[in-house]
Each structure stands twice: as structure tokens, then as C-alpha cells.
Amino acid sequence: MWGWMNSANSVNNNVNKPKFIVDFMLGRLAKWLRIFGYDTVYADRSYPENIILTSLKENRVLLTRNTGLSRKRAWKMVLIRSDKFIEQAAQVMKELKFNISEADFFTRCTFDNAGLKAVPAKESIKSKVPEYVYKTQDKFSECPVCGRIYWAGTHYGLLIKTLKKASFIKLNLHVNKLTSMTMKNTL
Ligand SMILES: [Zn+2]
């Protein structure tokens, strides 16, 4: 009934990358999965039926802390045990057997899940970012949906520290990556 839709609305460049639908109790995890570049629907206002349906329709792994929801038949599901983000991410990666890749970081808007587009000439976004950012940064990305601008920033160091502390993540991290004006709130 809905199998034909599987690839039509996928924005992932790698078809093997898991896609997620995350229940309302896991908002922080959803945001982080987007920061890591994973296509993630955050089901904050959805009824359980809609969550299950979206999981099935779009082949999304359901991440939930709701044991009631976990008894229903989603496409694939991970019942999250911890309330700590790092442990949640570790559980997801362990159970689904995948690692995050630095190349995918900040390729997706953390607010609406859209794929970010590189800004070809920074003059075009001058009015959208603080002056000191415009002066000190050269690489910017823009969300085609909400228009938010992302750039390399100091909060990235904090992200690296957090991830390194979580020894389950094996990464060769560099310092000059895109981050967003909202990283401070995310971490
Ligand atoms: Zn956006």
C-alpha cells in the first residue's frame, strides 16, 4: 500500500543510512541525530498511530521511551533505556550497528531536518548574521526551508569534547567544522 513511497521522499545521499522517527520524550536526541546528519522526524505532536504509520511508510527506525508504543509494530524500533543523551545515542548506534561520520556533521538543519546548502558567496547573507561572524568566517550554509544560517563556530570544540568523552564514538575530528548559532543551547 505504501511501499512505493520508500525512496521518493528520502533526502539522504547514502541509502544505507538509517532514518529515524523520534517520540516527543527524545527531543534532544532528535536534535543531535540531525547534527550528526541523520534524517530525523521529531514526532512532538503526533498520535501513536501516526508515529507508527510514518515509521512504516518511510522506513524510519522508531526511537521511543514509551513502552506502550514499543509494543506496536513499527518498521524497526529501539526502546531507549536511558534519559541521558550520550547513553541514548550509544544505545542506538550499538543496536543498529553504525557509527557517526564527521563528514555528515551539520549537513542538516537541526530545526526542520532539511538538508543544508552551501552559500556560494557570503555577501548574500551579510544581513542575516552578526557582524563579527561575517568578518571572521568564510564558509556558511543555509537551510532552504527556514533560512537559518550555519557557520564554523567556537561551540564546535564543546561538541568534540562531549563526543570524545563518549568513547563509543570513533572519530578523527578536525576543528574547522560548521556549527550553528544555536549550538550553545543544544549542548
Ligand atoms: Zn531549517
Q: Are residues 160 and 90 in the same domain?
A: no
Ligand 1 centre to CA of 63 (Å) is 22
CB-based burial label for 114 (10 Å; 0-12, 13-18, 19+)? middle
Q: Among 2-6, 124-128, 151-155, which stretch is predicted with the lowest mean pLDDT? A: 2-6
Domain contains 110: no
Segment 131-185, tens digit of pLDDT: 998 998 888 999 999 999 988 676 666 766 776 676 555 554 443 344 444 444 4
Ligand 1 centre to CA of 173 (Å) is 25
Ligand 1 centre to CA of 6 (Å) is 23
Please check whether residue 69 is in contact with residue 48, taking contact to mean a CB–CB distance below 8 angstroms. Answer: yes
**Quick check: helix, strand or coil at residue 185?**
helix
Ligand 1 centre to CA of 121 (Å) is 19
Q: Are residues 62 and 94 in the same domain?
A: yes
Segment 42-94, tens digit of pLDDT: 997 778 889 999 999 999 999 999 988 888 899 999 999 999 888 898 889 88
Domain contains 6: no
Banded model confidence at residue 3, pLDDT cuts 50, 70, 90: very low
Which domain range does residue 56 map to?
A: 18-98
Task: Return the C-alpha cell found at 81.
Answer: 533505556
Residue 27 confidence (pLDDT)? 92
Q: Are residues 91 and 28 in the same domain?
A: yes
- Domains in the chain: how many in total? 2
Distance between CA atoms of residues 91 and 110, nearest Å? 21
Domain contains 106: no
Q: Is the pLDDT of residue 109 over 60?
A: yes
Evaluate if pTM is beyond 0.85.
Answer: no
Ligand 1 centre to CA of 112 (Å) is 5
Neighbours of ion ligand 1 (CB under 5 A): 109, 111-112, 143, 145-146, 148
Domain contains 103: no
Domain contains 54: yes
